[in-house]
Structure formats: structure tokens, C-alpha cells
Amino acid sequence: MLKLSVGVAIGSAIGGVLRLWLTTWAAGALPHNLPLGTMAVNIAGSLGIGVMAGVVEANPRALGGPMVQHVVMAGVLGGFTTFSAFSLQTLLLAQRERWADAAGNVLLSLVLCLAAVWAGWQVGRLTAS
């Protein structure tokens, strides 16, 4: 359990750094009405975890087995995705009475992340078969 915990902790650190890089890039490259950097991170994380889940479902020993699966899914992708940041940013939009932006952030994030996790799962299943 200690080895797994250390692996997940290291994966979380990697995911956090990747999140910082993507959101920093997005802040400079994308319009600012919505927190698109956070949305991009959550979509990419949803796609990634979907791919992993699909691969593992098709071949449980794929990707190096349970240790690697936990490190990548709980560690890297858990550290990468930003649901708490999404929640805070949505709250801040609502507190500023930017209701359409708050609703758009929730709706787009939900739909696009669910679509991404489904697409990733399909890709994972196909590539592992």
C-alpha cells in the first residue's frame, strides 16, 4: 500500500503541473468570458480516464496492471482534473451575477466531459481489443 500511495502522490504532482501548464496557456490563448482553461483540463482528463477505463475493461492486465492504472487514473488524472476549480469559478460567475456564463460553464463542462469520457472509453476498448 505504501508503494501505491507514493506512486499516486507522484502521479498527482505530475498531473498538477500539467494542469498548471494547460490552464496558463489557455488563459493567454483563449477568450476570457468562461474559464476555458479549466474546462479544457476537465475535458482532456475525462477523455484520458475514459481511454484508460475502456482499455482496462477490454484487458484488465493492460497498461501494466493495477499499480500503473491507479497511478495514472487516481494520481496523474486526479491531479490533472480540476472539479474544485470548476466549482469555484462557477460560483464566482454566479456571485458576479453573470448567470448566462455560469450556466454555460456548467452545461458545456458537463456535456463535453461526459462526451469525452464516453469517447475515450470507446477508443480504449477498441485499442485494447
CA 65/CA 96 separation, integer angstroms: 47
* Whether 7 contacts 69, CB under 8 Å: no
The pair phi, psi for residue 97, each rounded to 5°, is: 60, 35
Q: What is the pTM of this model?
A: 0.77
* Whether 101 contacts 38, CB under 8 Å: no
pLDDT of residue 26 exceeding 90, the answer is no
Q: What is the pLDDT of residues 81-128, one digit of tens each?
A: 978 788 888 999 999 999 999 999 999 999 999 999 999 999 999 988
Nearest CA among 125, 16, 21, 29 for reference residue 81: 16
- pLDDT at 30 (0 to 100): 79
Q: What is the pLDDT of residues 33-62, one digit of tens each?
A: 788 888 889 998 889 888 888 888 888 887
Task: List the chain domain ranges.
Answer: 2-128
- pLDDT at 6 (0 to 100): 96
Cell digits of residue 30: 483563449
Residue 20 Cα distances to 25, 37, 49, 65, 82, angstroms = 8, 9, 19, 28, 10
- pLDDT at 38 (0 to 100): 86
